[in-house]
Amino acid sequence: MSVRHIWALTRKEFLHIMRDRSTLILVLFTPTALLLLMAYALSVDIKHVPLAVLDYDRTSASARFIQQITSGDDLDIAAFPTSRQEIDALLMAGSVKAAVIISPGFASDLQALKGLPLQVIIDGTEPQSGQFAVEHIASRAEAFVQAAVTRQLQARGLTLTSLQPLDLRIQSWFNPSMKSRNAIIPGLISMVLGFPALSVALALAREREHGTLEQLMATPVGRAELMLGKMVPYILVGMLNVVLIPAFALAWFHVPFNGSFPLFLGLSAIFMFSVLSMGIVVGVFMRTQPAALALSFLVIFYPGFFLTGIFFPLASMPEEVRLEALSLPGTHYAIITRGLFLPGVGLDVLWPYAVMMIFLGLAFTGVAALFFRKKLA
């Protein structure tokens, strides 16, 4: 293997990237734009859910309860209907996503420690918003009841804890605010950084369409040298994104980064090699750019979206699907990015995923080199 041959091919491919505006945009600017778009579209930090409140009791206690459940920016009162028919109309029109009905006798039942006569209706067409409203109403109702009955219990010589044998205390590690964006964006980085794989597949297909690939093979350049010469420029350009995209995520979305950035760079370079090897395989088997584009989305991006654990936990997948997911470099890199961004783990935890990416990269490169000569024949 000649370093001079690899450098010549690398220089040729790098000049092409710099001169071809569409390729430069694809590998340099598209990942950041896609991260920005998907981070806003896929984050599920729900706020300002419109709520209707029907208060049959109309006492100071019910007024305090309404104020309690709508404190903050999670639930907004959009209407005060006076009947169930008005609630039905609001839900049908989509004006509200949940409705709270405070029954008559709310204050007296609360005073007598009989419970909290309350009904919540949600719009099932948007279950996320409805479930969000129910959870927040339930937690704030519990806090309201505790504050309201504590004085009465103390007058009777009782304490609130004596009526609650279960003392449940919840603590969230690594993402205390439980913002979905903090969990999604590190995973999305593993997907958007795969765009250079699409570029290298299109580059091989374009060379075959224009006949320049056969000219290259007529030179003393070997198959392995050609593969490396094609990959190195995209790895270098991809590494620029490895710096820009996390910086953008930290500055714009305020996603925490608690790990080692040099370790992140090193593991990202391994990921770039692995995912670009997949792109090389696609380029080897596809003879036209449209076909290479379609296959790249089919074998790289769609599986990367659904199978890498970004949105659906790997543990919940069937065993066959989980094995397929583990054959994708993005699955291992998503674990790495989340581990470095949130808990800030080190190489002692992440080395198995790095080894798997190296193995997959070598395997894909071997497959590409094995079939490359045969496909040109």
Helix axes 347-376, 261-285, angle to 10 degrees: 20
Tell me the HSE value of 185 on the side-chain side, using a 13 A CA sphere: 30
Mean pLDDT comparison of 152-161, 185-194, 335-344, highest-scoring range: 335-344
Which range has the worst mean pLDDT, 127-131, 141-145, 179-183, 340-344?
127-131
Distance CA 193, CA 34 (A): 10
At 245, is the pLDDT very low, low, confident or very high (cuts 50, 70, 90)?
A: confident
Domains along the sequence of the chain with CATH: 3-43+181-376 (no CATH), 49-163 (3.40.1710.10)
Handedness of CA 236, 201, 323, 191 (dihedral sign): positive
Please indicate, yes or no, whether the overall pTM of this predicted structure exceeds 0.85: no
Per-residue confidence (pLDDT) for residue 261, from 0 to 100 = 92
With a pLDDT cut of 70, the percent of the chain lying above it is 76
Phi, psi (rounded to 5 degrees) for 246: -60, -35
Distance CA 189, CA 195 (A): 11
pLDDT mean across residues, the chain? 78
With a pLDDT cut of 90, the percent of the chain lying above it is 10
The secondary structure element, H or E, covering residue 283 is: helix 261-285
Per-residue confidence (pLDDT) for residue 126, from 0 to 100 = 64
Among 83, 56, 51, smallest CA distance to 67 is for 51
Q: Which DSSP category does 51 fall into?
A: E
Residue 169 reports pLDDT greater than 50: no
At 44, is the pLDDT very low, low, confident or very high (cuts 50, 70, 90)?
A: low
Per-residue confidence (pLDDT) for residue 355, from 0 to 100 = 95
Residues sharing a CB contact under 8 Å with residue 297, sequence separation 6 or more, in sequence order: 198
CB atoms within 10 A of CB 13: 22
- pLDDT tens per residue across span 309-329: 777 777 667 888 888 888 899
User: 188 with 333: CB under 8 angstroms?
Assistant: no
Mean pLDDT comparison of 220-234, 251-265, 359-373, highest-scoring range: 251-265
At 142, is the pLDDT very low, low, confident or very high (cuts 50, 70, 90)?
A: confident
CB atoms within 10 A of CB 357: 26
Residue 166 reports pLDDT greater than 50: no
- pLDDT tens per residue across span 351-375: 999 999 999 999 998 888 887 764 5
CB atoms within 10 A of CB 313: 8
User: 245 with 164: CB under 8 angstroms?
Assistant: no
User: 49 with 133: CB under 8 angstroms?
Assistant: yes
Residue 69 reports pLDDT greater than 80: yes
User: 90 with 139: CB under 8 angstroms?
Assistant: no
Average pLDDT over residues 36-59: 77
At 284, is the pLDDT very low, low, confident or very high (cuts 50, 70, 90)?
A: confident
Alpha helices in 74-179 (DSSP H): 84-93, 106-111, 127-155
b/e for 162-188, b at 16 or more Cβ within 10 A?
Answer: eeeeeeeeeeeeebeeebebbbbbbbb
- pLDDT tens per residue across span 191-206: 888 877 777 887 777 7
The pair of three-digit structure tokens given for residue 298, joined into one six-digit string: 């089919």
Distance CA 122, CA 49 (A): 11
C-alpha torsion angle, residues 30, 32, 33, 39 (rounded to 10): 130
Among 7, 360, 31, 20, smallest CA distance to 207 is for 20
User: 55 forms bridges with which residues in the sheet?
Assistant: 102
Q: Give the amino acid at 294.
A: A
Residues sharing a CB contact under 8 Å with residue 103, sequence separation 6 or more, in sequence order: 56, 57, 117, 118, 119
Average pLDDT over residues 177-186: 77
User: 341 with 258: CB under 8 angstroms?
Assistant: yes
At 332, is the pLDDT very low, low, confident or very high (cuts 50, 70, 90)?
A: very high
The secondary structure element, H or E, covering residue 121 is: strand 118-122
Per-residue confidence (pLDDT) for residue 5, from 0 to 100 = 66
User: 42 with 184: CB under 8 angstroms?
Assistant: yes
Q: Give the amino acid at 86.
A: E
Q: Which residue has the tokens 């980085």?
A: 189
